[in-house]
């Protein structure tokens, strides 16, 4: 069994997010492990709780959330990228006196250190950018 770290830099509106989701499912389906999902740059929008997808399209943030929940994955959202794009958890919302969390449950705000750690620990790192 091998472990992967996936870097997701594409927003839910990009092909990159869907490719990364399909790759993550194939990693799990092949009996390998996902050490960490790292959502970076516009990829943090996959953690946005306020995205509404047309009924006939895949709702990528919800699809990610489902994958994270059902496999207990470590899903880290880059805090600097997230705050710039209006994605905040309860703590950040309180700190900046915003209107409440805009981040889906299952995702965790953290920093680039988590990416460095995953790069050292995982067998492979793969980047999905738009």
> Residue 27, interface with other proteins (CB under 8 A)?
yes
8 A C-beta contact, residue 79 and residue 109:
yes
By CB under 8 A, tell whether 121 contacts other proteins: no
* Sole binder of other proteins in the list 23, 51, 83, 115 (CB under 8 A): 23
How would you class 14 by CB atoms within 10 Å of its CB: exposed for 0-12, middle for 13-18, buried for 19 or more?
buried
What is the rounded CA–CA span in Å between residue 122 and residue 18? 22
The catalytic position among 7, 47, 78, 88 is: 78
Q: How far apart are the first and last CA of the chain?
A: 29
Tell me, yes or no, if 78 is annotated catalytic: yes
Question: Does 29 engage in binding with other proteins (CB under 8 A)?
Answer: yes
Count of residues interacting with other proteins (CB under 8 A)? 21
Beta partners for residue 109, in sequence order: 77
Structure tokens at 108: 């965790």
Q: Does 19 bind other proteins (CB under 8 A)?
A: yes
When asked if residue 125 is in the footprint of other proteins (CB under 8 A), the reply is yes
Please report how close the Cβ of residue 25 comes to other proteins at its closest, in angstroms: 7
Q: Does 2 bind other proteins (CB under 8 A)?
A: yes
What's the longest Cα–Cα distance across the chain?
45
Which residues are near other proteins by CB under 8 A? Answer: 2, 4, 15-16, 19, 22-23, 25-27, 29-30, 32, 123-130
Q: Provide the annotated active-site residues.
A: 78
């Amino acid at each position: 069994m091998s472990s992967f770290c996936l870097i997701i830099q594409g927003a839910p509106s990009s092909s990159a997010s869907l490719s990364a989701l399909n790759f993550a499912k194939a990693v799990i389906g092949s009996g390998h492990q996902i050490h960490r999902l790292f959502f970076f740059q516009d990829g943090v929008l996959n953690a946005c709780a306020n995205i509404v997808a047309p009924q006939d399209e895949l709702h990528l943030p919800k699809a990610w959330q489902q994958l994270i929940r059902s496999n207990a994955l470590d899903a880290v959202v880059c805090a600097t990228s997230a705050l710039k794009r209006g994605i905040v958890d309860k703590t950040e919302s309180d700190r900046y006196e915003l209107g409440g969390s805009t981040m889906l449950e299952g995702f965790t705000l953290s920093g680039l250190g988590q990416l460095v750690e995953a790069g050292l620990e995982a067998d492979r790192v793969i980047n999905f950018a738009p």
